[in-house]
Amino acid sequence: MAQIFHRSTNTLSRVSIYGFVFFIAAVGGLSYKVNQSAYFTEVNVARDQPVPFSHKHHAGELGIDCRYCHTSVEQSSFAGIPATHVCMSCHSQIWVKSPMLEPVRASYARLLRPPHPREQGHRLHDLPRPDRRDADHLAGQHALHAVVHRLSQASRAIRQAARRRFQTALYAASGPA
């Protein structure tokens, strides 16, 4: 039978396939590196802080233990942001009239008064509100919870049946007393 393709076609095919695989791997590695770069992660980007805070002053000069403000530092992977009442435990007694701490006092005052019905929280997502008519998204979420609940009930029933069978077999193996 006559050869359809030239012998170099096999080599060209192998080189192009391996080249494509290496090209895809290089593009994946490059996109990973770019995604982890400071441009996307915004490392070293200075943010505007509502209250000028200095760890050097509080932890260094005053000697306040980090765990006093950052209560989850030993359990969590990051220290977290202290609650307003932690700041006010000291600043309700010192620097009481400082204009620099006005945002902290305003935040603490909002915590002490009952919230207005329209001020229940700060929405961080785009889900429709449940009090509107377009609450169809709730059906899917609740259906999933119902399935999980039924599965946990079925799992519990299976474990109880297995436990009863084991106890019955154990009783039967021990024989009459």
Give CA 1 to chain center in angstroms: 64
133 secondary structure, DSSP code = S
The pLDDT assigned to 1 comes to 65
Q: What is the Cα–Cα distance from 132 to 154, expressed in whole angstroms?
A: 35
Query: Is the pTM here over 0.85, yes or no?
Result: no
List, as one string, the DSSP characters of 39-75. HHH-TTPPPPPSS---HIIIIIIS---HHHH-TTTTT
Residues 6+ apart with CB under 8 A from 82: 69, 70, 71
The pLDDT assigned to 22 comes to 96
Determine contact, residues 103/50, Cβ cutoff 8 Å: yes
The pLDDT assigned to 89 comes to 83
Q: What is the Cα–Cα distance from 106 to 91, expressed in whole angstroms?
A: 13
pLDDT by 10s per residue, the chain, length 177: 677 878 788 888 899 999 999 999 999 999 999 998 888 887 877 777 778 888 888 888 888 888 888 887 777 777 777 888 888 888 888 888 888 888 888 888 887 776 555 555 544 444 455 554 444 444 444 555 555 666 677 777 887 888 888 777 766 766 665
Residues 6+ apart with CB under 8 A from 103: 50, 51
Residue 84: count of CB within 10 angstroms of its CB: 19
- Tell which residue, 124, 118, 96, has the closest CA to residue 108: 96
